[in-house]
Amino acid sequence: MSTTERGAALVTGGGSGIGRAIALRLAEDGFATAVLDLNADAAESVAEEARKNGHEAIALGGVDVSDRDQVNAALDRAKRALGPVLVLVNNAGKTGFKEFLKITDESWDQIMAVNLSGPFYCCQAAIPDMIAAGWGRIVNISSSSAHSGQQYMTHYVASKSGLIGLTKSLALEFGPKGITVNTVPPGFVDTPMLRGSEQRGLLGNSVEDIAAVTPVRRAGRPEDIAAACSFLISEEAGYITGQIIGVNGGRNT
């Protein structure tokens, strides 16, 4: 299939950090790309950047992935503007840092809603068109913390571990329909989310100090994650499904 026959790509949380890099990379790869983000200005700015580079892209701004109605409406808008969404990257995520005994129900529910229910809604909205096309690609951005566990991030780690289970089960169910489903758990990628954790003193050290003891001796770049997604979405990766492809500089093996 050519990229145009492969339909559109939709990246959630595409307005910042890792999602931004993935959206720009998929546009570069030839997909008409929908940039979905809670932050409308950020989504528009990334779509505009892709268009300036000569690619077809739209913003789906102000959309909260934890709201099923908003997700369904956004997928409809993407389909009307760009064609059926046959590539879905569930990247939007919400972090949290709290001693386990102090995690509130509200905080637990919010993190689960964004990190796990969001991908659930997006997959349910996108998969029917993938089945109709006999081809689809889903990449879920989980977290290296799901390999290792992370103290004070139990709610976040539990949600990302759930996303790995979602990935594996969908891979089995939809492999026969031509749809692959994989997860990329990033580790220590220099984004606004990571810098925010650094500023709040949650990393225990500076990004630069931690990078200095990371096996590859640098922090991850959003483009590192985008490259892995690009490969998993490519035709060549059609025999890879249900897999956890760690991109973490060797911090987790």
93 lies in the site for ligand NAP, by CB under 6 A = yes
Least distance to ligand NAP from the beta carbon of 43, Å?
Answer: 8
Residues 8, 10, 15, 44: which binds ligand NAP (CB under 6 A)?
15
Q: Please give the residues from 175 up to 204 whose contact with ligand NAP meets the rule CB under 6 A.
A: 186-189, 191-194
Rank residues 75 and 133 by Cβ distance to ligand NAP and give the closer one: 75
210 binds ligand NAP (CB under 6 A): no
The residue from 6, 9, 16, 232 that contacts ligand NAP (CB under 6 A) is 16
Residue with tokens 């299939």: 1
Query: Is 152 in the active site?
Result: no
Q: Does 11 bind ligand NAP (CB under 6 A)?
A: no
**Sequence-distant (≥ 6) Cβ neighbours of residue 38 within 8 angstroms:** 13, 15, 62, 63, 64, 65, 92
Catalytic residues: 156
Where on the chain is the footprint of ligand NAP (CB under 6 A)?
12-13, 15-19, 37-39, 42, 63-66, 91-95, 114, 141, 143-144, 186-189, 191-194
